[in-house]
Structure 1
Amino acid sequence: MSISPEILQQFKERMHLGDHEDDNLKRILSASNQALIRSCGNYDINTEETFKELVFERSRYVYNDALEYFNTNFLSEINSLGVAKALEGIVLEDDTDATI
């Protein structure tokens, strides 16, 4: 998935960055998006705000050469998104079919 110009612009504004690093930032955002999809499930960065925030945070860590701290610092958020995505796939049994 390629990073949209809107997502790139939002990240640049958040990080207070200019236009001179666009290609590098696109690579960072794309790699972060892919890594978090592997960890959390198939979320869409364009429509899922919580997932987008996590991608931005991971990208910030990458940009600042501190990626080794990301998973530890954001473990609960990563796990929460992963569990939420897993629960989407579970179909609950209809209680009216239960026999006693």
Structure 2
Amino acid sequence: MADEDFTPHELLVDFKRRMKIYHKSEDQELSRSLIASQARIKQITGSEDLKDPLIAELIMERSRYAYNDQLEFFEQNFLSDLLAAALQHYEPSDGGDDDGGTTPVPV
């Protein structure tokens, strides 16, 4: 990815502040991690709303685990928060077999 094509993730500044990262050399990789975390959180909870503090927190926490090479422990350690977010964003299907992919994936 060329630098001029790089668009930082919306949570990058907050994530770097939390992680006490003050340089820009990792911005692209950190943004990719945040994008991957956002996709996984959406898959689990059904939401990627960055205005929801719980969703934003889960995205940043998952990225923190990824940054520290501990990703395999994230879902186990945040199970209650993931379930709470999934229940908060749960929308029952209309009874058909195809729910349009909105049903959260079990953790």
TM-score normalised by the chain length of structure 1: 0.79
The residue aligned with 1:3 is 9
Aligned pairs for 1:1-100 (under 5 A) are 3-4=9-10, 7-17=11-21, 18-45=23-50, 47-86=51-90, 89=91
Percent of aligned pairs with the same amino acid:
37
CA contact (8 A) 2:47 2:55 kept: no
Q: Give the CA RMSD over aligned residues.
A: 1.3
CA distance in 2, matches of 1:57, 1:72: 12
Note the residue ranges of structure 1 that are not aligned, 5 or more in a row: 91-100
Which structure is larger by alpha-carbon Rg, 1 or 2?
Answer: 1
TM-score normalised by the chain length of structure 2: 0.74
Q: Deviations over 1:3-37 (max 9, x none)?
A: 22xx2111001001121100000000000000000
Counterpart residue type for residue 23 of structure 1: Q
Note the residue ranges of structure 2 that are not aligned, 5 or more in a row: 1-7, 93-107
Q: Deviations over 1:48-75 (max 9, x none)?
A: 1111011110000000000000011000
